[in-house]
Structure 1
């Protein structure tokens, strides 16, 4: 198959996306596919869509080419009107399917998916509606609450709100402050003092126009992916220091991740059931990964969010869950393509 692995973009997770995309592209080529790695924002000016998939291809060279645009990113964002770079649409139209390796806003938020739907371009992952809901932590929380999915209580605030303390929001410390649409734990603050709350809100608003303030759940961190309606083995996540933030997610050895999680069968089943319920609540198609906290005091399971394009880096969690049931990285990539193609066969 001719496959575009679409990565990079303009979000705070651009670098992570490049790593995911590079690994996916190599895996697909090992399986015999004509895959190419493409930056959704900067594109490939020299590409001829009719021949771009032919012949030998150096994925590492393509990744370095994409990274070369990093210093230009901010200036290009200010001067550009179109999100799609040169030849991106033409190459994606030429492909049999586009493997979305995008993370964060302008990629995981449904806008690329909506554009591809209108253009008749086939892609991996869920549709634009569920992507948009899952990307916005405020909307996700509302949908979870309406659907009976256990989730921490919280409120949404917007830029311009003068309140800067938990007490002003009617909440008790500690709390968590999160940008509404950020990924990879970028901009998240655990607030144990009112000064932390002020700083956390300022940090969140430096990244986005809205933020979620939610109750702090003292307990263990877990994750569970759902692929084609099946919940996979649960992963227990234990950072060696702090919590599961950006550094601990993407620094090899910084976090201990155990899969299957060393927990009771009952708790495993409960997390998997909540993962399926959360996936159903947002209308997830194909695959996604749900993140959880299990409260230490009573073992109650809380779903935090849905990742509709979960990471596919060497330290990512979905590949670990797949490996636990005998699916290696290359064949996981193939499986995600196969699952995604089902929606186009109906």
Structure 2
């Protein structure tokens, strides 16, 4: 197949003759993934995400688009990316716009989880100048209402009283219009990689987040720094490992995944974040376009299952490509 690999360029600041020059380059992770696809005997061309990316795709005769553009912080712009990909009519990797929008809009996702009959922490949506609900049960965690990848979450996002809540809200409202406050569940955390197709749900080996001594006197949360800022203590002291879970817990998490993803009349891959406490599996969030670099949770899990990176990438391509072909024939 002829495949276009859509990526978000990294901005590299270089000193050229004493001047700071910003150059855009493809990151190492995207190079790696594009090479894995290429090694499966596909013709792969790199497409830089920009204002003109749709024109670039239309100029070429691609059979498939691999969507590696997961570095867009603006949620509206990110939604528009999926809208444009949907309108192109070319099969692309991952979830469609409808599913992406569902899971990145936290209140909508919560409502969906509840309709599926799964447990999820209690929550409130708060806009600027709105009255804070009375009788909140602390501690709570504060998040932007429509972001993913832990954007807007730091080690101070968990608050223990109204004074801390007001202080944090004042800070976060400077950047975001709506805020999501949620009951903080102090328990074990799991990442569940999932591949789904028209009601069929395949749960990959489950990973547990190993919070080290760095978090001994801090809330155990995956902040933005813990996920993405490689030079921080939070990143260096947060690990995820595939775990052989107790059968009852393993079954409970897998059944939770099936209750959610069997309702989606589409195909894609995603990761589900679970907190486990008091014999209850609480669904926190679902990432409908997860990171797929060599160190990512999904690739770790796939390797534990016996899949190479090449085999996993091919599985993703065939999953979405076959779905599109079937849709066109019905």
Q: Describe the shift of the 1:37–1:300 C-alpha distance in structure 2 as closer, same or farther (beyond 3 A).
A: same
Q: Which moved more, 1:275-284 or 1:21-30?
A: 275-284
- Measured in 2, the distance between the counterparts of 1:269 and 1:139 equals 26
- Measured in 2, the distance between the counterparts of 1:341 and 1:287 equals 13
Equivalent in the alignment of 2:62: 95
Equivalent in the alignment of 1:303: 283
Q: For residue 157 of structure 1, report the CA deviation from its aligned partner.
A: 1.3
Unaligned runs of 5+ in 1: 42-82
Which residue, out of 156, 172, 176, partners 2:141? 176
Deviations 1:266-313 (A, max 9, x none): 101111111222223455522211111001xx1210011111111112
- Measured in 2, the distance between the counterparts of 1:9 and 1:195 equals 41
Q: Which moved more, 1:172-181 or 1:279-288?
A: 279-288
Give yes or no for the alignment of 1:244 onto 2:222.
yes
Q: Describe the shift of the 1:94–1:200 C-alpha distance in structure 2 as closer, same or farther (beyond 3 A).
A: farther
Q: Retained in 1: the 8 A contact 2:292–2:298?
A: yes
Question: What's the secondary structure of 1:286's corresponding residue?
Answer: strand
Equivalent in the alignment of 1:200: 168
Q: Retained in 1: the 8 A contact 2:195–2:268?
A: yes
Question: What's the secondary structure of 2:174's corresponding residue?
Answer: helix
Q: Which moved more, 1:138-147 or 1:114-123?
A: 114-123
Aligned residues: 292
Deviations 1:88-129 (A, max 9, x none): 3435x5221111112255589543233233222221112211
Equivalent in the alignment of 1:289: 271
Equivalent in the alignment of 1:257: 240
Q: Retained in 2: the 8 A contact 1:102–1:309?
A: no
The ranges of structure 1 where at least 4 consecutive aligned residues each deviate by more than 6 angstroms after the TM superposition are none
Q: Describe the shift of the 1:157–1:88 C-alpha distance in structure 2 as closer, same or farther (beyond 3 A).
A: farther
Q: For residue 236 of structure 1, report the CA deviation from its aligned partner.
A: 0.4
- Measured in 1, the distance between the counterparts of 2:76 and 2:304 equals 28
- Measured in 2, the distance between the counterparts of 1:191 and 1:162 equals 18
| Aligned 1:158-169 pairs, distance under 5 A | 158-161=127-130, 163=132, 168-169=133-134
Equivalent in the alignment of 2:2: 2
Deviations 1:118-159 (A, max 9, x none): 222221112211111011111100111122121111011123
Higher share in strand? 2
- Measured in 1, the distance between the counterparts of 2:135 and 2:313 equals 46
Equivalent in the alignment of 2:218: none
- Measured in 1, the distance between the counterparts of 2:288 and 2:311 equals 19
- Measured in 1, the distance between the counterparts of 2:311 and 2:223 equals 29
Q: Describe the shift of the 1:199–1:94 C-alpha distance in structure 2 as closer, same or farther (beyond 3 A).
A: farther
Q: Which moved more, 1:246-255 or 1:172-181?
A: 246-255
Equivalent in the alignment of 2:184: 216
TM-score (norm 1): 0.76
Give yes or no for the alignment of 1:323 onto 2:303.
yes
TM-score (norm 2): 0.80
Deviations 1:182-214 (A, max 9, x none): 222121211123343224323433333222101
- Measured in 1, the distance between the counterparts of 2:91 and 2:63 equals 7
- Measured in 1, the distance between the counterparts of 2:169 and 2:266 equals 30
Give yes or no for the alignment of 1:139 onto 2:104.
no
Question: What's the secondary structure of 2:313's corresponding residue?
Answer: helix
